[in-house]
Amino acid sequence: MSGMGNREREIRERDANVRRVSRITAIAGALAASATAGFGVLAAAATGHAGQTAATGTAATTAVATQAATTTGDSATETETETTQVPTTQATTAPTPATQDPVAVSGGS
């Protein structure tokens, strides 16, 4: 009986550890996502993607909304509304070396 009790206790502790690790992983993931979420928010605000809903990255957008709410006063209302509708996991496309003559010039103005 005592052997069975020890085993049950071990199983419970192991389950608790798994849950703890999962929780920490989720928090770390959300924090990592929120670090890059800001410019996703800005991108959507700029182009008016108001109708789009984030299929992923919800934790990230929430983090950004919370942060903005503490810093922008009345503007926070705006920020919160927008960020709940913005996808944040789209990656920025990096340039590659050109293989043709330029068609446009990007420089200071």
Partner 1 sequence: MSWATASFPALGTSAAVTVTDAEALPAARVILQDELRRIDEACSRFRDDSELTRLNRSAGVQFATSPLLLQALAVALYAAARTDGDVDPTVGRSLGALGWDSDFSVVIARRGQTPRMRIVPAAGWQRVRLDRARRTVRIPAGVEIDLGATAKALAADRSARRVHAETGAGVLVNLGGDIALAGAAPEGGWPILVTDDHRSDIGAEGQAIALSAGGLATSSTTVRRWRAGEGDVHHIVDPRSGAPADEVWRTVSVAARTCVEANTASTAAVVRGEAAVAWLERNGLPARLVRTDATTVYTCGWPAEAAA
In angstroms, give the least distance from the CB of 101 to partner 1.
Answer: 6
Closest C-alpha to 85, from 49, 46, 34: 49
Q: Choose which of 52, 53, 72, 84 interacts with partner 1 (CB under 8 A).
A: 72
Query: Collapsing DSSP states into helix, strand and coil, what is residue 15?
Result: helix
Q: Choose which of 2, 4, 5, 46 interacts with partner 1 (CB under 8 A).
A: 46
In this complex, which beta carbon is closest to partner 1, that of residue 26 or of residue 50?
50
Integer Cα distance of 25 and 31 in angstroms? 10
Q: Structure tokens of 103?
A: 């068609």
In angstroms, give the least distance from the CB of 20 to partner 1.
Answer: 28
Integer Cα distance of 67 and 98 in angstroms? 39
Longest dimension (CA), the chain: 81
Q: Choose which of 17, 22, 75, 84 interacts with partner 1 (CB under 8 A).
A: 75
Under the rule (CB under 8 A), what is the footprint of partner 1?
35-36, 38-43, 45-48, 68, 71-75, 77-79, 81-82, 90-109
